[in-house]
């Protein structure tokens, strides 16, 4: 059944952000025929715009749909998202200004650009670029899945609606580049904050308060009507901590996070955002509570076509909100998926253009407009691929594929982050470490008895039972051991530190970029 009042509000707000997306081309005018302007907003975003862009970029449909759904179905393990978003920002405060400065001084667009210059190795840059593209594709699909969930909750034809959403997203991204999601993020974040604040005040009032919510949750556990619990079993301590820490290390390695960071105009903008972005973590904590509310409210789990347990938040909002307010909330979630999907497609396209097209297909081309045109076209192909993926693959697997992306992107840390501080890393050691990490992470993901690319894996090492651990983090540890040992041996054999393509002077700020 189509919910007309919800749909009307949803359409109006969706049209509003569409108009904003097209008008963004006129905002802070620049030559959009160059990749720096189209793909990085001219590197001119200040603290406020960067805050909204990174917030909209990092707190995605996964945040608003999958986290409370995980808490609804499996309980406290889903709260790992809170400590990991707290851990990550001090790391960002220290690391990202240095990576940004090298990128600004040397004209880098992607993390793979930095790797190519740092190690003087186009091949290693190619591996990093391919990893970023492959890890990003299911993440984009997850955003489209978030739109699908709310569309299904309103009773609308999913295929037609997703195609319309894809066309809108594709066209305004093609026209306006990174300026579009940056401007829309301001609207999106305002809507999300309003939705969450209303939900965490109104729904608990209707359920008798948070005390009653947790009592109902505990009763549901004892009655075996739900797996959700507010207690974390001791057997999952290692899994919880490794999942939180591994996810924190991986977050800013994603191409869309690098793109959002590189678009800032100064180191100060990056540091300010590292200090103030934890405000989103507070909002994430409130969103997580919606999973417990759904248990206490006995919210009906949607059908598989509406996302199953992953659609529990839209179902909860529809259960308690009047039609227009539910439509507003659904629009907030859908727009919250558009922003990261746009940035992710731009980031993936930039990787292809800079580190595959320019390096291997058209190495002699000096045309800046050709570079931007290729990136625009590839961004359309990436979004189309994600749309086809979500329309043809069992959506129950979408979350698992996104978890695979986290396992893979974490293996790029030695090449991108460790290389900022450790001068003696050997390029072939980093390649070998990457191969070991990708190989082990993929093997554990595919053979995991708990499910394809489940977030935990019962790990045994030479007969010693380690326990349940996040496979991405375990693979990263193996990766790091290979990189460090191989590099140390290589330095000892050669008797010298490998030559870097980036000097210490390249990391130094200019007066305009502090």
Q: Is residue 489 part of a domain?
A: no
- Tell me if 152 sits within 8 A of 6, measured CB to CB: no
Residue 24 included in any domain: yes
Q: Residue 226: its pLDDT value, please?
A: 47
Write down the mean pLDDT value for the chain: 88
pLDDT of residue 511: 64
For the stretch 244-290, pLDDT in tens is 999 999 999 999 999 999 999 999 999 999 999 888 888 888 998 99
Answer yes or no: pTM beyond 0.85.
yes
Map tokens 């707290």 to a residue. 86
User: Can you give the residue range of the structural domain that contains 199?
Assistant: 4-399
Q: Is residue 100 in a domain?
A: yes
Instruction: Output the pLDDT for position 399.
Output: 65
CATH number of the domain residue 347 falls in? 1.20.1730.10
Q: Is 291 contained in some domain?
A: yes
Residue 431 within any structural domain of the chain: no
The stretch 474-497 carries a mean pLDDT of 95
The pLDDT, as a whole number, for residue 222 is 57
- At residue 512, the pLDDT reads 61
pLDDT tops 60 at residue 227? no
* Residue 418: inside a domain: no
| Position 82 in a domain | yes
What per-residue confidence (pLDDT) applies to 385?
87
- Answer whether residue 436 is part of any domain: no
- For residues 28 and 436, the model is more confident at 436
What are the DSSP calls for 50-119, one per residue?
Answer: HHHHHHHHHS-HIIIIIHHHHHHHHGGGGGGHHHHHHHHHHHHHHHHHHHHHHHHHHT--SHHHHHHHHH
CA distance 352 to 350: 5
Among 192, 136, 158, 139, CA closest to 335: 192
Is 230's pLDDT higher than 90?
no
Q: pLDDT at position 475, please? A: 96
pLDDT of residue 162: 85
Tokens in use for 165? 């959403």
Domain count, the chain: 1
Query: What is residue 240's three-state secondary structure?
Result: helix
Dump pLDDT digits (tens) for 142-193: 888 888 888 888 888 888 888 888 888 888 899 999 999 999 999 888 999 8
Predicted pLDDT at 81: 83
pLDDT of 390 reads 79
């Amino acid at each position: 059944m189509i919910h007309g009042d919800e749909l009307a509000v949803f359409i109006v707000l969706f049209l509003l952000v569409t108009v904003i997306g097209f008008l963004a081309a006129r905002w802070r005018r620049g030559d959009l025929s160059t990749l720096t302007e189209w793909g990085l907003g001219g590197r001119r975003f200040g603290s406020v715009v960067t805050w909204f862009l990174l917030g909209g970029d990092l707190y995605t449909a996964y945040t608003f749909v999958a986290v409370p759904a995980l808490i609804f179905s499996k309980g406290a393990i889903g709260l790992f998202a809170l400590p990991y978003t707290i851990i990550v920002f001090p790391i960002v405060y220290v690391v990202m200004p240095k990576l940004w400065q090298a990128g600004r001084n040397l004209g880098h667009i992607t993390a793979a650009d930095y790797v190519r210059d740092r190690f003087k190795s186009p091949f290693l840059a190619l591996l990093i670029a391919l990893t970023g593209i492959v890890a990003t594709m299911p993440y984009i699909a997850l955003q489209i899945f978030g739109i699908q969930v709310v569309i299904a909750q309103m009773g609308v034809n999913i295929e037609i609606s997703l195609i319309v959403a894809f066309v809108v997203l594709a066209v305004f991204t093609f026209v306006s580049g990174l300026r579009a999601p940056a401007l829309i993020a301001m609207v999106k974040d305002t809507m999300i904050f309003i939705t969450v604040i209303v939900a965490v005040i109104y729904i608990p009032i209707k359920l008798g308060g948070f005390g009653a919510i947790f009592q109902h949750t505990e009763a549901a556990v004892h009655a075996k009507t739900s797996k959700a619990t507010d207690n974390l079993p001791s057997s999952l301590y290692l899994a919880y901590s490794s999942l939180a820490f591994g996810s924190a290390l991986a977050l800013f390695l994603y191409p869309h996070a690098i793109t959002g960071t590189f678009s800032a105009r100064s180191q100060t903008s990056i540091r300010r955002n590292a200090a103030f972005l934890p405000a989103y973590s507070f909002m994430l904590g409130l969103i997580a509570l919606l999973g417990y509310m759904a248990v206490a409210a006995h919210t009906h789990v949607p059908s598989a076509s509406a996302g199953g347990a992953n659609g529990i938040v839209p179902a909860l909002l529809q259960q308690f909100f009047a039609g227009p307010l539910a439509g507003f909330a659904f629009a907030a979630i859908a727009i919250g998926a558009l922003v990261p999907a746009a940035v992710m497609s731009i980031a993936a396209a930039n990787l292809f253009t800079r580190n595959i097209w320019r390096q291997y297909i058209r190495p002699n081309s000096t045309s800046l407009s050709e570079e931007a045109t290729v990136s625009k076209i590839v961004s359309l192909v990436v979004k189309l691929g994600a749309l086809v993926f979500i329309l043809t693959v069992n959506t129950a697997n979408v979350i698992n594929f996104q978890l695979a992306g986290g396992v893979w992107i974490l293996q790029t840390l030695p090449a991108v982050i460790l290389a900022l501080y450790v001068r003696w890393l050997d390029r072939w050691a980093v390649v070998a470490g990457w191969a070991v990490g990708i190989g082990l992470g993929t093997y554990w993901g595919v053979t995991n008895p708990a499910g394809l690319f489940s977030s935990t894996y019962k790990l045994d090492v030479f007969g010693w039972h380690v326990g349940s651990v996040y496979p991405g983090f375990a693979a990263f540890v193996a990766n790091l051991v290979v990189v460090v040992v191989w590099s140390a041996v290589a330095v000892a054999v050669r008797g010298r530190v490998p030559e870097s393509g980036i000097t210490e002077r390249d990391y130094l700020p200019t007066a305009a970029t502090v």
